[in-house]
Amino acid sequence: MTIDPDAIAANWTYLNGKLSGAAECAAAIKADAYGTGQDIAGKAMFDAGCRTFFIAVPTEALALRETLPEAVIYALDGLFPGTAEHFIAHDIRPVLGSLAELEEWASVCKAAGRSLDAAVHVDTGIHRLGLSPDEFSVALKDKGLLGPFTPSLIMSHLACGSTPDHQMNRRQLDLFRKVTDPFAAIPRSLANSAGVLMGADYHFDLVRPGIALYGGQAIETEPNPMRPVAKVEARIMIVRDVPAGDTIGYGARQTAKRPLRNAVVAAGYADGLLRRASSTDERPGGFGMIGGHKAPILGRISMDMITLDVTDIPDHLVRRGAYVEMLGPNVAAADLAAYAETIDYEYLTSLGRRYRRIYGPLD
């Protein structure tokens, strides 16, 4: 698995310089930087100028703090009971998503006699984390509740950003404006990767791209402008002939319609190459690339192996030990995800632990 930190930095620079306008461009770096390696990805973006990062859980925040002692770090999963002192000790900012969290943090601020940095999340329609609009409006005006606490950021999250024409986007934007305009002196954030690409209306004071930084396709209906940042290669173990009429793989779900050559590749769903991208007689599966030639998956992806149709690929390219590109510049995560009936987020964050990771250019 080759990961290009310069490509990650270039993607952040493109989003920051070309698309974010006056808004600060932060970075979502949760789930080990979407599978690419939090420490190296974080440093690459920090060196490029990124100063604010969003992770999910406190353990990620603590690891990132060791790498980036000067960064602003927000924990999206919020404040777990009794953990406030850990956030304070390591200068981590929780994203407060419920009245209980807000009350606990306000109490800590009162005890400290000062406002400790934290974000407040208002739910505008995704119905996961976040105060309801009514709760938010009442709470932020209640000085008896908040005491000295003033949020360092107000945020919400788009439910349908990957489909920009969805009416939900405008509905959430209008509601976010309505409930946060009375507090416009506090920095605001709504845009994820898709929100950045949808334009200035969604940008406010800070944008927080994630998947786009790692080469993923944030908007389903438009060409992907981001550079690929990762390549997964696996070796051919054996090449064998499959007679017409024989079946391939577990479950005998794929039948050879003609005599085939079948390359068995040493990677499988244990490595994050999702089983749902398997091929059957009823539907095609994903593919790999060998020397610029497309090699469709044959049969089910198993734990440690994938079989590929190499019948029409030149013999000198298909040999024991040769590498097959299973993800990368020629095999987009979004394409693989479509065969697996999922999204490229899942592909990237599922990449397994058995890969030897190399950091450098993809070519």
What does the alpha-carbon distance between residue 168 and residue 146 come to, in Å, rounded to a whole number?
A: 31
DSSP state of 277: G
What does the alpha-carbon distance between residue 322 and residue 39 come to, in Å, rounded to a whole number?
A: 31
Pick the catalytic residue from 110, 178, 250, 347: 250
The answer to whether 113 touches 148, Cβ cutoff 8 Å, is yes
The reply to whether 250 belongs to the active site is yes
Q: How many CB atoms sit inside 10 A of residue 71's CB? A: 20
Dihedral of the alpha carbons of 188, 190, 192, 196, in degrees to the nearest 10? -80
Pick the catalytic residue from 14, 30, 34, 339: 30
Hey, what amino acid is at 316? H
The reply to whether 30 belongs to the active site is yes
What does the alpha-carbon distance between residue 333 and residue 173 come to, in Å, rounded to a whole number?
A: 29
What does the alpha-carbon distance between residue 234 and residue 77 come to, in Å, rounded to a whole number?
A: 35
Both tokens of 77, joined, read 């999963």
Helix ranges (H only) for the chain are 5-14, 30-34, 38-48, 58-67, 84-89, 99-112, 133-141, 143-146, 167-180, 193-197, 333-339, 344-350
Q: Are strands 230-242 and 260-265 parallel, antiparallel or unpaired?
A: antiparallel
The answer to whether 149 touches 116, Cβ cutoff 8 Å, is yes
Side-chain half-sphere exposure of 222, counting CA atoms within 13 A: 14
Q: Measured in whole angstroms, how far is the alpha carbon of residue 209 from the centre of its chain? A: 9
Q: Which residues are catalytic?
A: 30, 250
